[in-house]
Chains A and B, each alone.
Chain A
Amino acid sequence: MDAQTVIDNYVNDVAALLARSQRNEVGFELRTLLTEELKAAADKVGRPPDEQLAIEVVQHFGQPDVVAAHYGPRGFALIEPEHAPTFVTLATIIVAAQWLITLPPVFRSTLTFWQWEQGPGLGAMSWVGLLLVWFAGASWVRRRFPVNAQTLARPPIHWLFWLPIPRAWRPVDHLANARRLAVGLIPLSTVALLFFSAPSWWLGLLLPTGTNTSWAAYDGSFHRWIFPPLLALMILRLLLLLTVVINVRLWARLEAIRVALWSCFVVLLIWVLFGWQIFANGITNALFKTWLAVFVFVNAIQLIVWMRRESLKVRAPAALRATRSN
C-alpha cells in the first residue's frame, strides 16, 4: 500500500464519522494537510514517503473517532453533572427496593432464580430507563428554557420534567426553628402524656356516663412491663422540651441527651410495635398499631435526617485534632 493510499483510507475513516455537511470540506482539507505533514516527516528522516511513515503520521494525528469528535459539534450532557448523584441514589434505591421485595419467593423456592431474573430482576432496570428519560428531559428543558440568572425564577415548562434546583442560599436558624417546633409540641405532648397514662379512665370521664370504655384498656403484660419505662421516657422528653421555653441555649446544650432519649423512645416503640400487644381489645390494638407505625416511621425519618445533618457538620481535621491533643 503506498503512502497516499494510507492517507486516503485514514481520511475516509474520519470523514465517515463526520456530519454529512462537513464530510467533503473537512475530509478534503485533512487530506491536503496530512499529505504536507507526511512530506515534512519524510524530509526530516531523509527518505521518500512510504507506507510505514504514512501510518506513523496518521497515528500521531489521532484515532479517527477522536479526530472526528474534535471536528464535530460539542456533545451535551444527558444528565446535568449536579443531578448525577441524585440520579445514582434514586436508581440504586428503586432497584434495590424492587429486588428486596421480589427476591423472598426465590428463597422460599416458590420462584426459580431464572424466573425472577427474567421478571422483576431485570425488569427493575426499566426504572433506570424511566429515570434517565426524566433527567434527560429535565436537562433539555433547562438548556432550552434556562432559569432567570438574577431571580432564579423557573419558567413554567420546567414543571414538565421537574427536578430540584438550588435556591439562593439563606441562613437557616435551626435553633429558632427547633424552638418554634418545641413550643408547638409541648401542649400536644402534654395532652398525649395525660391521655395515654390512663386512656380508659379519660374516656370514661369524657364520654356519657355508662359508656363501655373497656376496649381502651391496656393489655396486662404491656401495662406492667413496658408502659412504665415508656411513660418515664415521655415525661423526660416533655421536661426537656420545656427547657426551650426556659432557656433556648440550655436546650441546645442538652441536645445530645434529648436525641439519646428520642432514639430510645423510637427503638422502644419499634419493639412494642412488633413484639407486644398494647391494648387488650384486638381491634383497638390493630387500629392503634397502624397509627403507631406511621408515628414511628415519621420519627425514625426525623432521627435519620438529624443524624445526617450532624455527620455533615464541619469538624477539625484528624491531623489538627491530634496536634491539639499533643
Chain B
Amino acid sequence: MYHVVHGDVYDMVKAREATPPKLDTELRRGALVLAVLSQLRTAQYGYSLRQALARQGMPIEEGTLYPLLRRLEDQGLLASEWRIEDGPPRRYYKLNAAGTRALADLTANWRALVSTLNGLLD
C-alpha cells in the first residue's frame, strides 16, 4: 500500500515496503533463543518475559515465546517452578547451570558474528 506523498518520503516508504518482511523475521528468529536466555538470569514467567523483551525492542509473539520456554526447559537449559504470589499461580523460568553455560557460549558466538558482519557490511 503506497501513501500519496511527494518526493523523498514517497520513495522512502516505497523502499521500506520493498524489503520482504520474511527476511526481517528470519533475521530476528536467529537471535530469538539468545534474547530469551539473556533475560532469564532472573526468574520470569512467560508474560513478564514477553513484556521485558518488548520494552527493550525485541517484541516476540506470545504464540512463539511460550512454547519456546517449554522447549528450552525440555532441552535442559531452564528450570521452572510454580509460584503463587499476588494473583493466579504462575510458572517461573530461570537459567540453570547448563543454560548459563549455553548463554555464555551463544553470547561469545554472537559477538564474533556481529564483529564479522560489521566488517562485511563496511
Least CB distance from B110 to A in Å reads 24
What CA separation (Å) do A33 and B45 show in the bound complex? 9
Alpha-carbon separation in the docked complex, A26 to B69 (Å): 11
CB atoms of A70 and B88 under 8 A apart: no
- A71, B63: Cβ atoms closer than 8 Å: no
**Contacts known (A28-B89, A32-B88, A33-B62); A67 close to B46, Cβ less than 8 A:** no
Chain A contacts of B70 at CB under 8 A?
A: 26, 71
Pick the contact of A71 from B47, B62, B67 — CB < 8 Å? B67
| From B62, B63, B67, B90, contact of A32 by CB (8 A) | B90
Contact present for B62 and A70 (CB under 8 Å): no
Given A26-B70, A33-B46, A36-B47: A70 in contact with B90 (beta carbons within 8 A)? no
Interface size class of B (residues with CB under 8 A): 10 to 19
Q: How far is the CA of A35 from the CA of B88 in the complex (A)?
A: 10
Instruction: List residues 26-79 of chain A with CB under 8 A from any CB of chain B.
Output: 26, 28-30, 32-33, 35-37, 40, 60-62, 66-67, 70-71
Query: Once bound together, how far apart are the Cα atoms of A29 and B63, in whole Å?
Result: 13
User: Using Cβ atoms and an 8 Å threshold, which residues of chain B touch A35?
Assistant: 88
Q: How distant is A4 from chain B, measured CB to nearest CB, in Å?
A: 11
Contacts of A30 in B (CB 8 A): 66
**Min CB distance, B40 to chain A, in Å?**
16
Interface residue ranges of B80-117 to A (CB < 8 Å): 88-91
- In the docked arrangement, what's the CA distance between A61 and B62, Å? 6
Q: A33 contacts B47, CB within 8 Å?
A: yes
**Which residue of chain B is the closest to A31 with respect to CB atoms?**
B88
Cα-based distance from A67 to B68 in the complex (angstroms): 11
How far, in angstroms, from A203 to B46 measured CA to CA in the complex? 93
Do A29 and B62 touch across chains, with their CB atoms under 8 A apart? no
> Is B89 a contact partner of A32 (Cβ separation < 8 A)?
yes
Q: A67 to B67, Cβ gap below 8 A?
A: yes
CA distance in complex: A40, B46 (Å): 14
Assuming A35-B88, A61-B62, is B46 touching A29 (CB within 8 A)? yes
Closest Cβ–Cβ distance, residue A166 to chain B (whole Å): 29
For B88, list chain A residues within 8 Å (CB): 32, 35
- CB atoms of B90 and A37 under 8 A apart: no
B45: which A residues are within 8 A, CB to CB? 32-33
Q: Which of A32, A35, A62 has the most CB of B within 10 A?
A: A32
**Complex: chain A residue closest to B63, CB-CB:** A62
Residues of A near B47 (CB, < 8 A) are 33, 36-37, 40
Nearest Cβ distance between residue A64 and chain B, in whole angstroms? 11
Inter-chain CA distance A137–B82, complex, in Å, is: 42
**Smallest beta-carbon distance A107→chain B, Å:** 51
Q: Mark A88-120, 1 if CB is under 8 A from B, else 0.
A: 000000000000000000000000000000000
A33 touches B66 (CB 8 A): yes
Given A37-B62, A61-B62, A29:B67 Cβ within 8 A: no
What's the least CB distance linking A70 to chain B, in Å? 4
Q: Give the Cβ gap from B32 to chain A, nearest Cβ, in Å.
A: 13
Kindly list 13 other residue pairs between chains A and B, CB separation below 8 angstroms, not including A32-B88, A60-B63.
A28-B89, A29-B46, A29-B66, A29-B91, A32-B45, A32-B89, A33-B45, A33-B66, A37-B47, A37-B62, A62-B63, A66-B63, A70-B63
Closest 4 CB pairs of A and B: A70-B67, A36-B47, A62-B63, A29-B91
- Residues of B bordering A, CB below 8 Å: 45-47, 62-63, 66-67, 70, 88-91
